[in-house]
């Protein structure tokens, strides 16, 4: 079982238009409303592909009720923690092959809300009652106001006490503090890794060096999403670059689906290399889909992924 924790979930509205012109009135060609937030997207992708992945999330207001209803409609198991304020609504505009995102800040959580989220995770583990089954707990996304930057470190410590492996996908101080929990998997994108390391990473060689620094600090694997360049896995076994050259007209949700596929592979007992192939296949399906999560991944999708060990150091990272 893979449990995701999304401290700042959202209802996402994605609009597709032909061309975005500042100051003009546009009519959407297509609209999609989805439950969202990084961990929520991980749970959704896992559910589509037949794995049990409960989502733990705070919800509030009419928007929170809508978020729960959307999760129910998709059959995504969840544990909603009621909070004050309203769940945020984010808007994405797809135009000219690019995505413009407008994200609300989210509600301010109360001092008791963080412990309630941690207790919800423990409750799900107790209810599962399946010792010996691989268990992952995923901390994913930004932290809303009211939650301490150390929340993910606390979540990782709770995962350790519950006998679970911990995966982390965040940014800024939340990511930096979360590394204290020594997650088994860290999944930054390129800009998040640059922020964490405090320097630009213009080539794959320096990206690998930065990922190794993180891996030495945590003792785990580092999975770096590189957008159209693919994904880089750095661990004790070496370095692998995975990519698929299929066009991706909707570059939304790739990183969340990358992490979902990687954890799905590991939970099924695949090697790190095969898990990376799975991850890139899941991400590729997602970015070819209007919305944040794609269809179930097929063997054809997996077969189109190419892996390269020790890619050239001077290859541009973007």
**Residues forming the active site:** 256
Under 8 Å CB-to-CB from 21, ≥6 apart: which residues? Answer: none
Report the interhelical angle of 151-161 vs 113-128 (nearest 10°): 20
What are residue 234's DSSP bridge partners? 222, 239
CB-based burial of residue 173 (10 Å sphere; 0-12 exposed, 13-18 middle, 19+ buried)? middle
Report the candidate in 131, 126, 98, 87 with the shortest Cα–Cα distance to residue 15: 98
CA distance linking residue 307 with residue 90, whole number of Å? 34
CA distance linking residue 276 with residue 280, whole number of Å? 6
| Strand pairing report for 10-16 and 88-95 | parallel
The dihedrals phi and psi of 41, each to the nearest 5 degrees, come to -65, -35
Its sign, for the CA torsion 241, 244, 249, 251, is negative
């Amino acid at each position: 079982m893979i449990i995701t924790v999304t401290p700042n979930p959202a209802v996402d509205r994605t609009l597709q238009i032909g061309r975005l012109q500042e100051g003009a009135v546009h009519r959407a060609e297509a609209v999609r409303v989805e439950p969202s937030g990084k961990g929520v997207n991980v749970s959704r992708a896992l559910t589509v592909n037949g794995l049990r992945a409960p989502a733990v999330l705070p919800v509030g207001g009419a928007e929170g009720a809508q978020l729960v209803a959307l999760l129910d409609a998709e059959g995504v198991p969840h544990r909603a923690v009621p909070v004050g304020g309203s769940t945020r609504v984010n808007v994405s505009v797809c135009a000219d092959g690019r995505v413009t995102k407008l994200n609300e800040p989210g509600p301010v959580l109360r001092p008791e809300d963080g412990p309630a989220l941690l207790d919800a995770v423990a409750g799900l583990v107790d209810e599962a009652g399946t010792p010996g089954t691989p268990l992952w707990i995923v901390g994913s996304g930004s932290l809303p106001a009211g939650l301490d930057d150390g929340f993910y470190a606390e979540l990782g410590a709770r995962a350790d006490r519950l006998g679970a492996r911990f995966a982390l996908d965040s940014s800024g101080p939340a990511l930096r503090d979360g590394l204290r929990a020594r997650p088994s998997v860290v999944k930054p994108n390129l800009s998040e890794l640059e922020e964490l390391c405090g320097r630009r990473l213009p080539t794959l060689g320096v990206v690998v060096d930065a990922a190794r620094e993180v891996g030495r600090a945590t003792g785990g694997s580092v999975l770096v999403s590189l957008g159209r360049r693919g994904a880089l896995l750095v661990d004790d076994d070496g370095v692998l670059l995975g990519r698929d050259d299929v066009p991706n007209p909707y570059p939304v949700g790739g990183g969340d689906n990358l992490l979902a596929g990687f954890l799905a592979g590991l939970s099924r007992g695949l090697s790190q290399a095969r898990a990376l192939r799975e991850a890139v296949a899941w991400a590729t399906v997602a970015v070819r889909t209007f919305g944040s999560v794609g269809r179930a991944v097929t063997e054809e999708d997996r077969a189109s992924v190419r892996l390269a060990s020790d890619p050239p150091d001077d290859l541009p990272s973007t």
